[in-house]
A and B are shown apart, each in its own frame.
Chain A
């Protein structure tokens, strides 16, 4: 009996397996087949019949799908179906006769989700991501449509897109050899990046002026520590003169940038510029040494090295008023209204408690040097399954039109904003269907990041009013200071650098490891720890990137 059963079982399994394997490829082959043939058709737009389009309007209704980030925020509306999506849908149907359907994709898992959608051939026609390496990887696999021919061919139909992004952002990623454009770059309208913050009320209590040099900043930290009893009373043991996180490169940016020689050339900066925290720039090590000294003197939060990304322990320490200074995103303490650091400090500590932005780290030329970002933001790309490239481009054009994006950014008057006597716009928080799921509806205006009302003066005034419950003077101070003496390393477009592929996360992790270890080790071990970590970073792919960038730079720019 055993034998019969086993024979039967084996037969059954074989049949089932064959059925499984047989049907699987058969059913899935058409999809790759379609996708691989699509670029061929599309790479030569002139072979496709002339689109039936009159005055920018299709004669027959077209339909496209568009990715939209889903932040699943409390009290938010469905990101794919709300007041603002209706506004876009109606407008697109009216102006271009294109039907738009939104496809929600989790904001924090976007890369993984887009990955799945692309593999299944279901990716939205208009995709958006922050990660260019991801797009490059997909493009190498043949999963992305080359936008260059369409951008050229339909230039006249896309006046708003060209006006907002300009040729610079549209062709930012153009391959210098093949001329392909896998993705266009959204405009980073506001490139303020990082600020240094100190407790304004503590300075007053201790009769200290705002620090303007590294030395003054250091003395201020010591003063905070020595006067913990006065500043924090019974909670004196909680005193944290300077707080930092595992992300040293970001959270000490101003300090580290000040140690980079002023005469570093753009070429040097490019070659050593793979890491977005600039860890390979010359001079950084001495900056980290300062942090190591502070840590060992007890001026830095001693437990910072235990906490990873997304942990809000440090935020809570700031909210409780234990933190004297820190470096972070240029508007960090003022964000999030009632839930934010500023509002909580005012509640828990007192109405005077506030962080104020300062500049105190000068480089060897006496400048408050900081490295600012190029005017690029999110990357918009079309997967190769997109068979409506023109309708998709018209969509991008439509949301780039000042009138349309202005409405998306500020919403309805009296509901999501009010107009001040001087014309500035003050944002109000709305609930219900008209709630904005992201600040200034950034998720819908995928071609621009930053409030733009079409008038520089109004923009500046409105920006300062954009933080509910925060005195405008804090914003007005932080904003220019975070850009003072900023340097932007120009883009060097050398096409794809092969050794960078897939290395981003692994190298970033190595960087964070050795920086954290170098900051928290005893001073006499600092050199050993830093050098070993730095060498490991280079050996694990860092050096290969430097070498390839050197070669490519010489090839295209020398």
Chain B
């Protein structure tokens, strides 16, 4: 891309090797030291050669700095008394050494309830929703007719493109106790209407089930790709040894996609306290609010509608910090068990 001749590239590799050797090796260190006036020069030479690459990098970095790092200064709002007319640096600190709003949040029953619901719903989502695409991927790879497989896969990932608002509308049409299609059908069979949406426990079941329905097909794609990457010779060898389908699944396919599973699991754990807004908000109603109110809804109600920006920022910050902790912990745990982790 940069049109480097072979000569140039060897030239650039040479000082680099010296540099690497310099670590901990005294004899070589003298060599590097003797050539140390060249260190600045090296950097200049290096930059001269690669400046175009850095120029390319400039754009994404600028993006991240402007849109991800600069806004982070507003994290301060969590520790300050928010004022609409003051710069964030000039706002006065909140009481209790700036922790006023964190204390307020943890004293708020609604917040604790939202915290509980967030953890509960996300945990159930993980428990039921995480294995689902793996199972579907295994089933799909075992299908003998490629066309049938492709059609099934396409249909399965379609719901991913529906917004939760639409899914909630469909759910009400289908599951309403007296007018819903499903309950009408059950009624014809002589079964009492099931309160899919207006009774807390049933609502959680519906919520989780709809979540799986919406995302299972889409999440399968990545596993299918991982399965496609497994060396087919392994299967042939296993067949020679007399392994059946389940044996092959257990001993070849699953270990083959283990690292993918682990990476996705770590990322999911990083979201354990993160909360979607539209899914619980659209599906929720006044009968089930004590299980459907999650942190995002709390932030919307108190922060955006109630204009308590500092409180909302404090809650958001708490949420992010816990997510980061989970992410690191899960990653460390994965490494402990001999996986590569995410970084």
Contacts and interface: CB of A to CB of B under 8 A. Distances in A.
Interface of A: 1, 3-4, 8-9, 12-13, 16-17, 20-21, 24-25, 28-29, 32, 35-36, 111-112, 115, 118-119, 121, 133-134, 137-138, 141-143, 246, 302-303, 305-308, 313, 384, 502-506, 509, 512-513, 516-517, 520, 536, 539-540
Interface in B197-213: 197-198
A469 B97 CA distance: 64
Contact of B302 (A8, A20, A305, A506): A506
Interface stretch (B61-69, B143-151, B226-234, B326-334): B61-69
Contacts of A509: 289, 301
B65 A20 contact: yes
Contact of A16 (B19, B62, B84, B109): B62
Contact of A502 (B54, B70, B86, B306): B306
Given A16-B61, A513-B289, A112 B84 contact: no
Contacts of A21: 70, 73
Given A25-B87, A506-B301, A540-B109, A246 B46 contact: no
Chain A binding surface SS class: helix
B172 A307 contact: yes
Nearest to A12: B61
Given A303-B179, A307-B172, A36 B285 contact: no
B46 A25 contact: no
Contacts of B82: 141
A304 to B, nearest CB: 10
Contacts of A517: 286-287
A36 B85 CA distance: 7
B239 interface: no
Nearest to A112: B304
Interface residues of B, number: 42
B83 to A, nearest CB: 4
Contacts of A111: 305
Given A16-B62, A20-B65, A504-B306, A118 B84 contact: yes
23 contacts: A1-B46, A3-B19, A16-B61, A17-B65, A20-B66, A20-B69, A21-B73, A29-B87, A35-B85, A115-B84, A141-B83, A141-B85, A143-B84, A303-B177, A303-B179, A306-B176, A504-B306, A505-B301, A506-B110, A506-B302, A516-B287, A520-B287, A539-B109
B127 interface: no
B83 A540 contact: no
A13 B285 CA distance: 46
Contact of A246 (B19, B43, B285): B285
A28 B286 contact: no
Given A16-B62, A143-B85, A384-B85, A305 B285 contact: yes
B70 A20 contact: yes
Interface string B96-133: 00000000000001100000000000000000000000
A141 B84 contact: yes
A134 B178 CA distance: 41
Interface in B140-189: 172, 176-179
Nearest to B65: A16
Contact of B70 (A9, A24, A536): A24
B177 A302 contact: yes
A36 B70 CA distance: 25
B308 interface: yes
B89 interface: yes
